[in-house]
Amino acid sequence: MPHDPHIRLFIPGPVDVRPGILNAQAVPMIGHRSPEYANLQGRIIPKLRRVFGTAGRVFIVTSSGTGLQEAAVRNCVGHHCLSLVNGAFGQRWYEVTLANAKPADDLQIPWGTAIQPEQLDDRLRTGNYDTVTVVFNETSTGLLNPIPEMAEVVCRYPNVLLLVDAVSAAGGTEIRADEWRLDVCLTSSQKALGLPPGLALCSVSDQAIQRAHAVPSRGWYFDFLQYDKYAAKNHTPATPAISLMVALDAQLDAIEDEGWNVRFTRHRRLMRQVHDWVTDSGFGFFADAGYRSPTVTAVENTRNIDLGGLNAYLRQRGMLISNGYGPLKDKTFRIAHMGDTTEEDISVLLETIDSYLAGQ
């Protein structure tokens, strides 16, 4: 039974999924070692390469994005990782790295402030690190880190691998994994790609695969070398989430029809629509100017409104936004403008928030 009534999600994941994509999954099951399955994976891979801007390896993994955070450090950290942290998901990746018994140091930057390439360079100059982890789009703070500039710094250190979490970026803003020389770039399905949760996707460079050969105890489920071996036959090592892959195949076709650049431009247009409303309504922005995310805006609750009351009001009218993440709860609220959201959807949301504020 569908959820009734439908609550349209403006939370930064999971996002609303179009009925056509939900329905695409409702097809008979196929065996994961069958030719039909190999055709499905074979159809998806070239389209997935465009998500990451790579001509190389891409893997489809049955897990959420955190699984690939774990995979990336398990496969790629040799002796010491530098974890860049300016939000909750950078912090999580640092903790995931330590939890996998990988030596790691954190470089903590105030939340809402972008990590600057010079700060990264200062730490890499010590020669202590063979891997860097960084989040492209910090969903907790609505901030886009300057990944191309940071990647340029990492390129000066040939033995250092750059692992990028693009969970709330991929599908919403351009990624050029080959040009920027990202070693692992990972995402999950339930954000800007506009799919249900359950799939994690990544690009993996030759250097990352070489490193994996030298790293012991990579585990089994997330072993990139296993993925690489099975990918040659358009298979995965274990049973994949076939229904979600059918949805992914259909959604990537729909995105190609929309046009990648048209999609990225739409995301920025929605961002501006939300930004204009934030300014006109007398709220503030949590993230620094110049680094604000095209997929999610963290609004500073400068008017000290009751966010629980606002979301209850929105829910009654069939929509939902997010409170601030962790320590930012009640100090900020987040409006996602990613996936297949339209200007009209955002207009209806903002008008409904206005009608709540008018009644206060």
**Secondary structure (H, E, C), 134-162:** EECEECCCCEECCHHHHHHHHHCCCCCEE
Distance CA 164, CA 279 (A): 31
Which is nearest to 139 in space by CA: 162, 117, 167? Answer: 167
Residues 6+ apart with CB under 8 A from 67: 61, 200, 222
- Name the residue type at position 109: I
Q: Cβ closer to ligand PLP: 53 or 90?
A: 90
Q: Minimum CB separation from ligand PLP for residue 135, in Å?
A: 5
Give 71 or 153: the residue with its C-beta nearer to ligand PLP. 71
Which residues of the shown chain bind ligand PLP in the complex (CB under 6 A)?
A: 13, 64-66, 89, 135, 139, 165, 167-168, 188
Closest to ligand PLP by CB, 192 or 208: 192
Of 68 and 346, which has the nearer Cβ to ligand PLP? Answer: 68
Q: Is 117 helix (H, G, I), strand (E, B) or coil?
A: helix
> Among residues 16 and 165, whose Cβ is nearest to ligand PLP?
165
Least distance (Å) from ligand PLP to the CB of residue 230? 22
Residue 188 CB, shortest distance to ligand PLP, in Å, is 3
Tell me how far, at minimum, the Cβ of 127 lies from ligand PLP, in Å: 29
To the nearest whole angstrom, how small is the minimum distance from the Cβ of residue 101 to ligand PLP? 20
Residue 57, φ and ψ in degrees, nearest 5: -70, 135
C-alpha distances in Å from residue 132, one per residue of 63, 84, 120, 177, 198: 22, 7, 9, 15, 26
